[in-house]
Structure 1
Amino acid sequence: MRHLLALAWKYMLLATVFFAMIPLFLRVSSAELLWFSLWMTLVAYALGDLYILPRFGNLSAVIADFGLAFVGVWIGIGIFYNAGGAAVINAAFFSALLVALGEILFHAYMNRIVLRHQDEKKEHSMRRGLQTEIAEEFDVRSATDQEEDKQES
């Protein structure tokens, strides 16, 4: 359930950014922006939020999301609309910049709500497999040292 809510938040973030930035530079229909936002959400969530964020941290995940959004808009929108040049590059850059700024907050949410519960489950399963015995020792010297002391006296 936490992943579905996180996917919904990410979809709203990407759809909002794409609806705000891409039409400033290109003529793209709303339905196509919704589909593009859905595909970008699924890819970015799998790569950036579930793989890179837990392993490499927030800064690496933000950089990866910036690159993914830039390349996604540049190639995805540029190929489908056969648009080239400065319009697509500008749309890709400004969209990626806003996505990266939004991802900083989204990653804080992911670390606090979604990934924390996964870490707790992992720690719990690891603790159960790595239990050790605990015993109290009254004397720090070994039994052989004690026997040698008795024989000398």
Structure 2
Amino acid sequence: MEHFKAIGIKSIMTFAAVFLILGLGFQMTLGQVMILTVAISALSYPLGDLKVFPKAGNKVATLVDFTMVFGVIWLLGNVLVQNSASLIISGAIVAFAMAVGEYYFHKYIARIVLHRKYPFENHKY
């Protein structure tokens, strides 16, 4: 059950960042925003949050999440929109906003999903 809550939180956070920056600022359609949200959540939760984070810590996992978000926006954005010249800048902005949120989301993951009673003592979180 914790995984469903965590995926829900991550999806809402991802949708908010993508919609506010790319939907409103870059005029992407709601469908395009949803495609990017699903792709980012589907990749970054199992890879960044469940694989990298427990082994490498919060800083490395946040950097991996930044890279994944930027890569998905850049690759899928080129497919979804005609004028993709400003996707690099807007993708970096979305990735940065997501990285800030991911830093705190990883603390939630450690405590609730991974069941670490004292998740930040004697570890790289």
Aligned equivalents of 2:82, 2:47: Cα separation in 1: 27
Pairs within 5 Å for 1:136-151: none
Aligned equivalents of 1:26, 1:10: Cα separation in 2: 22
Say whether the 8 Å CA contact 1:77–1:88 is kept in structure 2. yes
More helix by share: 1
Pairs within 5 Å for 1:74-89: 74-85=74-85, 87-89=86-88
Say whether the 8 Å CA contact 2:23–2:33 is kept in structure 1. no
Say whether the 8 Å CA contact 1:66–1:100 is kept in structure 2. yes
> Whose relative contact order is higher, 1 or 2, with alpha carbons under 8 Å and at least 6 apart?
2
* Number of corresponding residues: 116
Aligned equivalents of 1:42, 1:110: Cα separation in 2: 16
Aligned equivalents of 2:11, 2:24: Cα separation in 1: 20
- Structure 1: gaps (5+ residues): 118-153
Query: What secondary structure does 1:116 align onto?
Result: coil
* TM-score, structure 2 as length reference: 0.87
* Aligned-residue offset at 1:91: 1.1
Q: Which of these two proteins has the greater Rg computed from alpha carbons? A: 1
Runs of at least 4 residues of structure 1 off by over 6 A?
Answer: none
Q: Which residue of 1 aligns with 2:114?
A: 115
Q: Which residue of 2 aligns with 1:140?
A: none
Q: Deviations over 1:93-126 (max 9, x none)?
A: 1000000000011000000110126xxxxxxxxx
Q: Which residue of 2 aligns with 1:46?
A: 46
Say whether the 8 Å CA contact 1:25–1:88 is kept in structure 2. no
Pairs within 5 Å for 1:1-153: 1-85=1-85, 87-116=86-115
Superposed CA RMSD in Å reads 1.3
* TM-score, structure 1 as length reference: 0.72
- Structure 2: gaps (5+ residues): 117-125
Percent of pairs with identical residues:
27
